[in-house]
Amino acid sequence: MVTLRLAASEDIEKIWKMQVEAFAGLLEKYQDYELSPAAEGIDKIEERFFQSGSAYYFIEAEGADVGVIRIVDRKDGSRKRISPLWIMPTYRGRGYAQEAMLAAEAVYGAHHWELDTILQEEGNLHLYEKMGYRQTGKTARINERMDIVFYEKD
Kindly state the DSSP code that residue 111 receives in the 8-state scheme.
S
Residue 135 confidence (pLDDT): 98
Mean pLDDT value across residues 135-154: 97
Number of domains in the chain: 1
Confidence band of 128 (pLDDT split at 50, 70, 90): very high
Residue 126 confidence (pLDDT): 98
Is there a contact between 114 and 101 (Cβ–Cβ < 8 Å)? no
The string of pLDDT tens digits covering residues 49-65 is: 999 999 999 999 999 99
From CA 45, how far away is CA 94, in angstroms rounded?
26
Is there a contact between 147 and 118 (Cβ–Cβ < 8 Å)? yes
What's the pTM? 0.96
Confidence band of 41 (pLDDT split at 50, 70, 90): very high
Residue 75 confidence (pLDDT): 94
Is there a contact between 100 and 69 (Cβ–Cβ < 8 Å)? yes
The string of pLDDT tens digits covering residues 12-33 is: 999 999 999 999 999 999 999 9
Q: Give the CA dihedral 13, 51, 57, 106, nearest 10 degrees.
A: 180
Percent of the chain with pLDDT over 70: 100
Measuring CA to CA, which residue among 120, 122, 74, 128 is closest to residue 98?
A: 128
Residue 63 confidence (pLDDT): 96
**Domain span including residue 137:** 3-153
Measuring CA to CA, which residue among 126, 150, 147 is closest to residue 137?
A: 150
Mean pLDDT value across residues 117-145: 97
The CATH number of residue 72's host domain is 3.40.630.30
From CA 132, how far away is CA 45, in angstroms rounded?
28
Residue 27 confidence (pLDDT): 97
Residue 131 confidence (pLDDT): 97
Residue 14 confidence (pLDDT): 98
Residue 114 confidence (pLDDT): 98
Residue 74 confidence (pLDDT): 96
